Amino acid sequence: MRKSMIRSTLLASLLACSSLAFAATPQQTAAPGTSAAAPRAQQQRPSLFDQLGLTDAQRTSVRQLMQQNFQQARPEMQSLMQKRLAFDNATPGTSQFQSTTSDLAAAESSAARDQVQRQADLRTKIYNLLTSEQRTKLASLVQQRQHEMQQRRSAAPAASH
């Protein structure tokens, strides 16, 4: 259960930030002669900073917003970690186990809801920093990446057989 929650939290974070992953450092393009089937590390694309043509001021603002978002989430994540540890250390069948189970379930639910809200607020703030041209370009890039993901998903089952 713990692994699935960690995966779910990570996936939700990645999905929430995928279209706005501005803080990524600029990446080099693939080397000439690199095939399309090369490992992902070799198929690097420019960061959204570069693709959207953000100004230095916009880049600084985005990084500050992302850092603020992280700082806001930190105390809640630390509290959640303590509740998970208490749950892991409780003995099944005891009243303490029942109590920590209930406490952890409520905390996980609250944390998921708060995380979605923080990500929505962050995306809105970042989106408001963009010019209309950058917003149009962002929509195009998001659509392109979604299409690429669909292609990878449809190709994955065929490759596994």
Give residue-wise pLDDT tens across range 96-142. Answer: 999 999 999 999 999 999 999 999 999 999 999 999 999 999 999 99
What number does CATH give the domain 54-129? 1.20.120
If you ran DSSP here, which 8-state letter would residue 29 be given? P
68: amino acid identity, one letter: Q
Percent of residues in the chain assigned helix, strand, coil, to nearest 5: 80, 0, 20
CA 45 to centroid of chain Cα atoms: 18
Rounded Cα gap, residues 33 and 35, in angstroms = 6
pLDDT at 51 over 60: yes
Average pLDDT in the chain: 79
User: What pLDDT is attached to residue 141?
Assistant: 92
Task: Record the pTM.
Answer: 0.62
Residue 122 near residue 20 (C-beta atoms within 8 A) = yes
